[in-house]
Amino acid sequence: MEENRYASPFQIGNVTIPNRTVFAPMAGVSDLPFRLLCHEQGAGLVCMEMISAKAITFRSRRTGELWETDPEEKPVSLQIFGHEPDVMGEACRILEEQTFDILDINMGCPVPKIVGNQEGSALMRDPGLIEKVVRACVENTSRPVTVKMRRGFDADHINAVECALAAQEGGASAVAVHGRTREQMYSGTADWSTIADVKKALAIPVIGNGDVVDGPSAKRMMDETGCDAVMIARAAQGNPWIFKEVNAYLERGAILERPPRRDIVRMILRHADMLCECKGEKVGMREMRGHVHNYLSGFPGASRVRGKVNSITTKAELQALLAKEYPYA
């Protein structure tokens, strides 16, 4: 019987990814609690928030908190950003003692502060430097090294193929390509044709990113581009179930309904518990507000309830608000 490539595991170096879905690294979102929830719901690989290589070499306490992992979330990828090969290599040496599976290099972040420091998507202006940065990381880590990039820096510089080839030449084990340029940020439509071009050019796995919002769009991306897996970012916010939904569609063509409201409310409260346990109630509840806004999408009166969520400071207040607003959930 022919293997279903949409459902089978794939390899990134010596790491086996059990299915074809990847939870993207997102600053302020892909922290330990949410990664655990996405993994539980079926994400084949989860990725940490990006960490500054320079900050790692300074050994700051805050940075150490960002790379905390849990055995239950494996396989997990740790993402670093920087532009100086020697600093990137030193960061990799320091990270050797940590418990992650894959080391990822950020070459896609479009934020002006990062780009202005010649990091993130700014690296796509210099494919030669990309090769040097990747090689410095590969030579200083025992893990597979991957790269996440964009389609290009702007509409006049669509060079993902050149940049991906440079990463492969430097020793990268896989590349993820977001079908938008840096100039687009997160607006407009992702152009998947560049992902297809990168897949044709490379011998290593290619992960497609951009506008995957459900099972059908995931399969369509894989069909149109030939990519080895799909990376899901914003569509997972407030919806960790998306990985279960995508896997069900890729494996057997099944379309799962979104969980009932009561299950979403339970997930909100569980997520809040995990965040508070991880970061303390004060910080945890402050960060939880944004997550609650996303979970409430489609709920009746969501806009009004979100306004009330913004003043919540304790788990008890969140529980009381949800019980009052959605008593039958």
Q: Which two tokens stand for residue 154?
A: 């702007």
Residues forming a β-bridge with 154 = none
φ/ψ of 274, rounded to 5, equals -65, -40
Task: Find the largest Cα–Cα distance for the chain.
Answer: 59
Q: Which two tokens stand for residue 255?
A: 């379309």
CA distances from 143 to 91, 149, 167 (A): 13, 19, 15
3-state SS class at 226: coil
Q: What whole-number distance in Å separates Cα of residue 24 and Cα of residue 129?
A: 24
Query: Among 27, 62, 65, which residue's Cα sits nearest to residue 47?
Result: 27
Query: Among 310, 236, 314, which residue's Cα sits nearest to residue 276?
Result: 314
Q: Which two tokens stand for residue 40?
A: 């539980």
Active site residue 109: yes
Q: Could you say which of 109, 137, 163, 276 is catalytic?
A: 109
Residue 137 sits at the vertex; the CA angle it makes with 132 and 143, to the nearest 5 degrees, is 145
Mind spelling out the 3-state secondary structure of 231-291? EECHHHCCCCCHHHHHHHHHHHCCCCCCCCHHHHHHHHHHHHHHHHHHHCHHHHHHHHHHH
Q: Which ranges of the chain does DSSP label H, i.e. alpha helix?
A: 32-40, 53-58, 61-66, 85-95, 112-116, 127-138, 160-170, 193-201, 215-225, 242-252, 261-279, 281-295, 302-309, 315-325
Residues forming a β-bridge with 46 = 23, 76
Which residues form the catalytic set?
Answer: 109
